[in-house]
Amino acid sequence: MAEYAVGKVDDVPENGSVAVQAGRHLVAVFRIAGKFYGLHAICPHKGGLLCGGQVLADKLVVRCPWHYWSWRLETGELETDPRQKVRRFEVKVVDDEVVVCT
């Protein structure tokens, strides 16, 4: 496992996301109510960018901006069919620094 320092906590907007190139992984890092989540940034459906998707904070779901496939931030599961998953990455905060684990 490798750890990548993304930046300071405030580099990720609250209730928003950024895309991070962590080695060979493109990771969408979300910040919801002070907690951080990481998903593979590219929707497996047709390649839309999850980092540009609408975040439903109450459901902890991100909706792909192209076709609204909705992915659970905590598990990477597709809301309508949990058998389908997008890769999830652990994201932690160390000394005010956001760290993505790949």
Partner 1 sequence: MSEAGTHEGRKRARIVTPDAINEAASRYEIIDTDVHFLPDWDVLRGYMPEPFKSKLTRYPLVGADFSPQYSTGIQGTGQDVLGTARTAEDMLRTMDELHTDMVMLVPGFQRPQSLYHKSWVSVLASAYNDYLADKVLPVSDRIKAEIMINHRDPADGAAEIERVGDHPGFISVYTEYGGNYEPIGTAQHDPIFAAAVERDLAVTIHAGCFWQQMSPIHQGTRTWTELLGIASVGITLASVGAMIMQGLFDKFPGLHVTVKEGGFWWLPEFALRADDFYLSHPGDVSLVERKVEAGEEFLAKLPSEYLFENFRFSSQPMCLPGDAKHFAMLWELCRGEDMLLYSSDWPHATFDPPNWVFENALISEEARVKILAQNARNWFPRLG
Chain residues in the site for partner 1 (CB under 8 A): 2-7, 11, 18-23, 26-27, 41-42, 46-49, 51-52, 63, 66-68, 94, 99-100
- In whole angstroms, the minimum distance from the beta carbon of 64 to partner 1 comes to 10
Nearer residue to partner 1 within complex by CB, 3 or 74: 3
Tokens 């909706």 belong to 63
Strand-pairing partners, residue 24, are none
Nearer residue to partner 1 within complex by CB, 20 or 55: 20
- In whole angstroms, the minimum distance from the beta carbon of 43 to partner 1 comes to 9
- In whole angstroms, the minimum distance from the beta carbon of 33 to partner 1 comes to 21
What is the C-alpha to C-alpha distance for residues 98 and 102, in angstroms, rounded to an integer? 13
Helix (H, G, I), strand (E, B) or coil at 16: strand
- In whole angstroms, the minimum distance from the beta carbon of 74 to partner 1 comes to 21
Query: Could you give the C-alpha distances from 95 to 32, 38, 59, 60, 98, in angstroms and in order?
Result: 18, 19, 28, 25, 8
Q: Closest by alpha carbon to 56, among 17, 26, 11, 90?
A: 17
Nearer residue to partner 1 within complex by CB, 6 or 73: 6
